[in-house]
């Protein structure tokens, strides 16, 4: 079963809110798949790429759904 783009975006938004509420978010490492990271950050990353992300930042204003 394939998750829709809208479902990935909604899941990323829920995760963003949950992480922003955690006092330890600065010390938390998240490992995930390409589409979720794109929906969370707006960045299309290659495998093994590290980024720092602030969950209090706004969601991406637009997304390009291609790996």
Among the listed residues 57, 50, 44, 59, the one whose alpha carbon sits nearest the alpha carbon of residue 13: 59
pLDDT band at 26 (very low <50, low <70, confident <90, very high): very high
Can you tell me which residue has the tokens 């783009």?
5
Residue 67, pLDDT score = 62
pLDDT for 1 beyond 90 = no
- Residue 23 phi, psi (nearest 5): -70, -20
pLDDT tens figures, 37-56: 999 999 999 999 999 999 99
Lowest model confidence (mean pLDDT) among 10-14, 22-26, 37-41, 63-67: 63-67
């Amino acid at each position: 079963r394939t998750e829709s783009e809208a479902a990935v975006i909604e899941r990323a938004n829920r995760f963003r809110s949950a992480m922003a509420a955690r006092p330890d978010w600065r010390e938390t490492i998240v490992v995930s798949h390409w589409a979720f990271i794109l929906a969370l950050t707006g960045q299309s990353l290659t495998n093994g790429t590290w980024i720092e992300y602030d969950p209090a930042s706004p969601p991406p204003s637009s997304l390009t759904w291609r790996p």
